[in-house]
Amino acid sequence: MVESWLFGVVASVFGLASVVVGLFMVRTGRRMRARNEGIDGTETTAVGDLEPGTARVRGAASRIESEGLAEGVTVRGDALVTVFEAERYSGGKGANWRTVYEERDAVPFVVDDGTGELRVDPPTDGRLDLAVAGRTRVGPGEDPPAPVQRLVDRESAIDEANEREVFGLQMGERRRYTEGVVAPGDEVVVYGELRRDDAGWDGTEFVLDGEPDPGSFLLSNKPDEQLESEATMRGGFGFLVTASGVMSIVFGLAVAVVPWVLL
């Protein structure tokens, strides 16, 4: 009897843990689907027709002289937004590229679509989906370009690609350094919650800065067709995460309850 009771307790704890994991997965999956459906289901609006609320705008990114410029790591030239990623690749089972470091820099700018200007101030936690402007691959034992090397020396998270010899062959981890850039004049699409620009910066009526939900903000310099294709894929992945979460909840409840029913 005691052993059955202990088994029931252990099963309940394991089942409840599975339920908690499932609830988290359902919440994550639903948020992913809702975010992508919102972006994909919102028509592009001309700046001249904007009203407070959620909007999607496409136009040319233009510099605000008083705001300066962003600084890139590997890409040189004027920039308004930069996103640099360092990835590590290790061979073996389940090998893939894994992001080990990300660095962002952005300054406020305006999007001009010919009907008006929208001030954009990218939030720290907003989604920046930029096309690749520069990519460098570094093999085992190789030195990265000088700009990356300075970053490697400064940031402990970006270690150098190590090298080892196995049966006379040079083996080791590889590195990939990627940077996306929005430069003045680039065509971009921005999405998020608009609010009136009470300060009246640079004559703009609205500002898009990720308030009140930075997670709903999107800035991209990719074509609409590519964005829609990627949104469909992420929406499908969100559905799979949600379905897996539901299965985890059902399994957890069964594991937690059934042993007590059988006692």
pLDDT of residue 99: 86
Characterize 76-96 residue by residue with b for buried, 16 or more Cβ atoms within 10 angstroms of its Cβ, and e for exposed. eeebbbbbbbbbbeeeeeeee
The chain-wide mean pLDDT, for the chain, equals 78
Pairing of the two strands 127-129 and 218-220: parallel
| DSSP code per residue over 4-49 | HHHHHHHHHHHHHHHHHHHHHHHHHHHHHHHHHHHHHT--B--GGG
As given in the structure block, the two tokens for residue 48 are: 């001249």
- At 142, the pLDDT band (50, 70, 90 cuts) reads confident
- Which of 33, 35, 29 has its CA nearest to residue 246? 29
Average pLDDT of span 101-130: 91
Examine the pLDDT at 95 and tell me if it is beyond 70.
no
Specify the pLDDT at position 166: 45
The pLDDT of 126-154, averaged and rounded, is 84
Across 7-31, average pLDDT: 71
What pLDDT shows up at residue 73?
A: 87
Give me the pLDDT at residue 158, please: 72
H or E element that contains 132: strand 132-138
**Amino acid 168: pLDDT:** 44
- Distance between CA atoms of residues 22 and 245, nearest Å: 4
CA–centroid distance for 185 within its chain: 24
Burial class (CB in 10 A: 0-12, 13-18, 19+), 129: middle
pLDDT tens digits, 152-207: 888 777 765 554 444 444 455 788 899 999 999 999 999 988 888 765 555 567 88
Q: What is the pLDDT of residue 167?
A: 44
pLDDT band at 97 (very low <50, low <70, confident <90, very high): confident
Number of H helices and E strands in the chain, helices first, is: 3, 13
Q: Does residue 11 contact residue 257 with C-beta atoms inside 8 Å? A: no
> What mean pLDDT is predicted for residues 210-224?
83
* 44-48, 78-82, 92-96, 212-216: segment of lowest average pLDDT: 92-96
Tens-digit pLDDT profile for residues 47-93: 989 888 888 999 999 999 888 899 888 887 899 999 999 888 866 55
Higher pLDDT, 160 or 231: 231
Confidence of residue 119 (pLDDT cuts 50, 70, 90): very high
- The encoded tokens of residue 143 equal 């030195």
pTM: 0.71
Q: How far, in Å, CA of 97 to CA of 88, rounded?
A: 6
The residues that bridge with 138 in the sheet, in sequence order, are 175
Q: What DSSP character marks residue 144? A: P
